[in-house]
Chain A
Amino acid sequence: GQNIDQPTEMTATEGAIVQINCTYQTSGFNGLFWYQQHAGEAPTFLSYNVLDGLEEKGRFSSFLSRSKGYSYLLLKELQMKDSASYLCAAMDSNYQLIWGAGTKLIIKP
């Protein structure tokens, strides 16, 4: 079956760096997405990776290894507003998005 695994919850300190991991198993692969979702709000797009490697976008970076079925989201210089859930979603060969349950990130001062 198709599956996304990511940690349920993580805690980090303001100003620090945190890495949120995601492993996926899909029938075929057409890319991996990361979305941010604040409590009670809609998801917002962070990144899309389809090729191996690291893509940097400001304080956020996303990495993909297709051979390992693995991705991570790296958040630098953490701010209190980064407290949110981070959703990993992989696209299968039918272009269907398989969503993870999300990682709740708690930032402490």
Chain B
Amino acid sequence: EAGVVQSPRYKIIEKKQPVAFWCNPISGHNTLYWYLQNLGQGPELLIRYENEEAVDDSQLPKDRFSAERLKGVDSTLKIQPAELGDSAVYLCASSSGGVTDEQFFGPGTRLTVL
């Protein structure tokens, strides 16, 4: 079974530029999460999807971040414009059922904003 796929793995951009991350969850997983993780810290939830519906986006900085999950499968997270403080690893995770189910994480995208 293929795991969660993310691309790109690494991205370096200058501040004020836009950037987008893509995630393909495990087949059949209805729940999809986007997290950011800073070095030495735990993941911080940005948004959670149940199928194509964003059921928890309370931590998403909506002035510059946006996300979509068309057709309830792949998802894209966008930052526009990026700021220096956005440098972090962006993790995508998926789970098959309820929120108490195990989450399977992708390898992440390491973003560096210069």
Contacts and interface: CB of A to CB of B under 8 A. Distances in A.
Contacts, number: 43
Interface string B10-27: 000000000000000000
A2 to B, nearest CB: 12
Given A30-B100, A31-B100, A96 B106 contact: no
A54 interface: no
A20 B41 CA distance: 16
Given A30-B100, A45-B103, A102 B41 contact: yes
Contacts of B45: 96-97
Interface in A15-48: 30-31, 41-45, 48
Nearest to B41: A101
Contacts of A91: 99-100
Interface residues of B toward A: which range? 10 to 19
B43 A43 contact: yes
Contacts of B44: 99
A107 interface: no
Interface in B18-42: 40-42
Nearest to A47: B102
A42 B40 contact: no
A57 B100 CA distance: 18
Given A43-B43, A99-B42, 19 more contacts: A4-B42, A30-B99, A30-B100, A41-B107, A42-B4, A42-B107, A42-B108, A43-B91, A45-B104, A91-B99, A94-B56, A95-B100, A96-B45, A96-B56, A97-B45, A99-B43, A101-B41, A101-B42, A102-B42
Interface of A: 4, 30-31, 41-45, 48, 50, 87, 89, 91, 94-97, 99-102
